[in-house]
Amino acid sequence: MSFTPFFTALFAHHGGFGLNLNPLDTNLINLVIVIGVLVWFLRGFLGGILERRRQAILADLSDAEQRLQSATAALTQAQQDLAAARQKAEQIRQDGQARAHAVRVDSQQRTIEEMARLKEDATADLKAEASRVTALLRREAARQAIEQALASLPAKLDETAQARLIDQSIQNLGNA
């Protein structure tokens, strides 16, 4: 008993969908042959294209990996350089602060020394002026005393007193 005519008759009479299981009638053999030929011929062609594409993708991945490694190395080096630069900047800042402090202390010390020197100079000038004025006053007092003594001397000094004074002065000179 063949099921093919039965199914064919069943579906054909109703005018709808039908299933044709006859391989010669449905071109199933032709389709298998065409697909087999396509697979056999295109396998080499598509395989080559796919292999080249795979090689290109692998090369791109390898290149990207190498660039990633070099970028990572460059980043690491840049971070080290940045850390070194920050350390150097901090050292420069500390040196600058130390220099500024030293300059400020030195300037204050020089100012104090200069003020002390000026004070000493002013004191020395004051003492010198006081000595000069004192000497001037002494000379003036002595001059006035001598003038007064010379003015009053002729009236008080007679010849005997004058001789006695001269003798006494000579004797004082001889003892000295």
- Nearest CA-CA partner of 125 in 133, 136, 135: 133
Does residue 93 surpass a pLDDT of 90?
yes
| Burial per residue of 73-90, b for 16 or more beta-carbon CB atoms within 10 angstroms, e otherwise | eeeeeeeeeeeeeeeeee
Residue 126, burial from CB neighbour count under 10 angstroms (0-12, 13-18, 19+): exposed
At residue 85, the pLDDT reads: 95
Residue type, 36: G
151 vs 140, residue with greater confidence: 140
Whether residue 166 is contained in a domain is answered as: no
Does residue 27 surpass a pLDDT of 70?
yes
Give me the domain span that covers residue 26.
3-151
Q: How many domains does the chain divide into?
A: 1
Whether residue 170 is contained in a domain is answered as: no
Whether residue 158 is contained in a domain is answered as: no
Other residues' Cβ atoms within 10 Å of the Cβ of residue 18: 13
Does residue 90 surpass a pLDDT of 90?
yes
Does residue 112 surpass a pLDDT of 80?
yes
Least confident of 21-35, 120-134, 136-150, 155-169: 21-35
Average pLDDT over residues 158-172: 81
Whether residue 157 is contained in a domain is answered as: no
How far, in Å, CA of 24 to CA of 122, rounded? Answer: 137
Whether residue 103 is contained in a domain is answered as: yes
Whether residue 175 is contained in a domain is answered as: no
